[in-house]
Amino acid sequence: MTLTKEILRAIRQLRAEEVVALPTETVYGLAGNAYASTTVQKIFALKGRPTFNPLIVHYHRVEDIAEDVIMTPLAQKLAKNFWPGPFTLVLERRTGSHLSPCVSGGLDTVAVRVPAHTLFQEILKGVGVPLAAPSANPSGFLSPTRALHVQRFFPSLLVVAEEEGKCQYGLESTVIDARDEEPRLLRQGAIPVGQIQDVLKNNVELSLTSGSSPGQLLQHYAPRKPLRYDAKRVFSGEALLAFGQPLGGSYRHMVNLSCTANLQEAAHNLFDALHSLDQTDAKSIAVMPIPQKGIGVAINDRLQRAARYS
């Protein structure tokens, strides 16, 4: 990959311990040197994120991760299958790790991930340190999947553009606590739970009731407009977020997540669709039902949180 001026500039700024917005295969991240506490604190401040809600640290290579956390046999197995990719492991921090304690939000664990995105990987390699990167939205707001979404939130930041326009998966990574023999699901995400169970070849219970991330209590991925989930009809003044064959009605604004009712495509379009319906003059957003299977589970997780808090 040839490094464009923009990528070289991002590398320079990150080396100078500044914060830069970068695309990943899931959503955009607000990235900064994970060793530098002042940089990590700047990320928290930009997002308005409570300091007890820890950040994910991104690495260039799986081998580098073992310097900072204790890789259990379970973690190794999952890493082999899902890295690089939209998958995060929570593991015990190693004594002697140089990571800023701020990334852990007061816990003795660290969330780590090896992203698959080529451009993000090039930047990680160029900077030469792991990068802490939460989603590039103010705490509680919709996650960004396009450069434009990030620019609206943070006009003064360097935002590296996603070459394909929009992040591939469109939903955040799946988060698993792999400190013990039994995995615990902390966040539904781009890798469906069924795929994880297939790899582990046992009937591990992977439901969110077994535990949750500090962030899951707070984050609500919410648009500014109220969101009505599982809509069977569209009321006057509502915009429609459709899936498959749209509901009838006289609405003025509609975005279809996938005309062919494809869940992968719906995930890819989800946040972008919510960002654009949020910009319309509709008073609220009605969302058609999404099947609760595969990546649909994570789509419903985000929509339910958005609906609950909007």
Decide: is 178 part of the binding site for ligand TXA (CB under 6 A): no
Point out which span in 108-116, 224-232, 244-252, 275-283 binds ligand TXA (CB under 6 A).
108-116
Of the two residues 135 and 213, which places its CB atom closer to Mg ion in the complex?
135
Decide: is 173 part of the binding site for ligand TXA (CB under 6 A): yes
Residue type at 137 in one-letter notation: N
Decide: is 146 part of the binding site for ligand TXA (CB under 6 A): no
CA distance 177 to 181: 10
- The entry of Mg ion, ligand TXA, none near residue 56 (CB within 5 to 8 angstroms by kind) is ligand TXA
- The entry of ligand TXA, Mg ion, none near residue 296 (CB within 5 to 8 angstroms by kind) is none
CA distance 303 to 277: 14
- The residue with tokens 């409570």 is 50
The C-alpha R_g of the chain, in whole angstroms, comes to 19
Residue 100: Cβ within 10 Å count:
20
Bridge partner residues of 22 (DSSP):
29
Number of helices and strands (H, E) in the chain? 9, 12
What's the min distance (Å) between Cβ of 113 and Mg ion? 13
What's the min distance (Å) between Cβ of 24 and Mg ion? 12
* Preceding peptide of 84 cis, ω within 30°: yes
Decide: is 187 part of the binding site for ligand TXA (CB under 6 A): yes
Point out which span in 49-57, 195-203, 263-271, 284-292 binds ligand TXA (CB under 6 A).
49-57
Judged by CB under 6 A, which of 29, 32, 85, 296 binds ligand TXA? Answer: 29
Point out which span in 84-92, 129-137, 185-193, 229-237 binds Mg ion (CB under 5 A).
129-137
- Asked whether the beta carbons of 184 and 97 are under 8 A apart, the reply is no
200: helix, strand or coil = helix
Decide: is 145 part of the binding site for ligand TXA (CB under 6 A): no
